[in-house]
Amino acid sequence: MSLLSVRDLTVKFAMRDETVTALNGISFDLAKGERLGIVGESGAGKSITGFALMNLISRPGFVDRGEILFHDEDVVKMSDARLRELRGDKMAMIFQDPMVTLNPVLTIGQQMLETLMAHRKLSREEARQIAIVKLREVYIPSPEERLNQYPHELSGGMRQRIIIAIALLLDPELIIADEPTTALDVTIQADIMELLLELCQSNKVGLILITHDLGVVSQMTERTLVMYAGRIIEAGRTREIINDPQHPYTQGLINALPQQTLPGQKLRQIPGNMPSLTNIPPGCPFNPRCEYATDLCRTTLPEIIQYGEVRVACHEVERLHAEGARQEQDA
């Protein structure tokens, strides 16, 4: 049974003159304890997906259709009271910027205890003990002292670890992490990712990791969704997608990475830009940047279909695959 099941999720934003579709028919499942990566470039809709899962979309945005079943209960239709129970308890979110996620005028202890006591009947002392245990779990040195400190007294890496500790306070079943390490240095990023992986594995926590970094997805997740212009264009096991991407955009994204080309050689770039959501081209949204685009691609939106091990939304996937195989034979 899946922990989370998203069906045909569509999120729109009501702008002054028109309604913009930010998410268009997203469907995916997440099993208990599974780690899923959502990759894409800015404007692809990956953060909106994360927000929608917690029902955090606020005006002018709204969920137009679709459902988000968490334990067979639709998050979209939940009352505010029920949402308050769920958020921070069964579902927790880690945001990108550790500098702004914590409240600067409350101590770390106040923020941790607040979360605990809002959800559980605990005395202050009991809550304090849990907080200390969780801080220790994320390798914070001298946790008792940290509880009395303010966020500005801590470094970025330390803050992000505290945010992870807060997310883990009530033993959630699902953590949504939206670019949790983008604002941090590589060595700190590696530490945080290792920690997150370790905690998810040992506590059987489901993880949705939203990132633009394919390397991070490759090391952290079991399955991956690739998003482009508000749609899922490829989904499947992370290994399959990294080693043998089917969609031309996924291929382009992986091939554009500097480590995929010999040093000093020209990188294989994807021409053009991601279309703005107000101006998505007809047919396949990727067609103006795609070297394999045909007339069909320019007029008809490809459905997402099962192709081998992965799901992919591309008309030309079979032709592409045949060409790829031929090139491999030649080489």
Q: Which residues bind another protein (CB under 8 A)?
A: 41-42, 155, 157-158, 185-191, 193-194, 212-216, 218-219, 239, 242-243, 252-254, 256-261, 263-264, 266-271, 273-274
* Shortest reach from residue 267's CB to another protein, in Å: 4
Q: Please count the CA atoms within 13 angstroms of the CA of 12 that sit on its side-chain side.
A: 11
Closest to another protein by CB, 104 vs 264, is: 264
| Exposed / middle / buried, residue 77 (Cβ in 10 Å: 0-12, 13-18, 19+) | exposed
Q: With respect to another protein, which residue has the nearer C-beta, 89 or 240? A: 240
Tell me the sheet residues that pair with 92: 175
Residue whose tokens read 């991407």: 245
N-term to C-term CA, the chain: 44
Q: Which is nearer to another protein, 121 or 266 (CB)?
A: 266
CB of 76 to another protein, least distance (A): 30
Tell me if 31 sits within 8 A of 24, measured CB to CB.
no
If the CB atoms of residues 129 and 273 are measured against another protein, the closer one turns out to be 273
Q: Which CB sits closer to another protein, 32 or 239?
A: 239
Q: Which is nearer to another protein, 69 or 256 (CB)?
A: 256
Give least dist CB 173 to another protein, A: 26
Q: How far is the CB of 124 from another protein (least distance, A)?
A: 30
Q: Which residues contact 132 (CB under 8 A, 6 or more apart)?
A: 143, 144, 147
How far is C-alpha 136 from the chain's CA centre?
26
Classify the C-alpha dihedral 93-96-98-99 as positive or negative. Answer: negative
- Cis peptide preceding 245, ω within 30 of 0: no
Q: Compute the least distance from the CB of residue 278 to another protein, in Å.
A: 13
Q: Which is nearer to another protein, 191 or 316 (CB)?
A: 191
The count of other CB atoms within 10 Å of the CB of residue 324 is: 14
How would you class 298 by CB atoms within 10 Å of its CB: exposed for 0-12, middle for 13-18, buried for 19 or more?
Answer: middle
Phi, psi angles (nearest 5°) of residue 320? -60, -45
**C-beta of 137 vs 191, nearer to another protein:** 191
Please report how close the Cβ of residue 238 comes to another protein at its closest, in angstroms. 10
Min dist CB 219 to another protein, Å, is 5
In the complex, the smallest distance separating the C-beta of residue 91 from another protein, rounded to whole angstroms, is 26
Angle at 73 between CA 69 and CA 77, to 5 degrees: 90
**304-315 core/surface letters (b: 16 or more CB in 10 A; e: else):** beebeebbbbbb
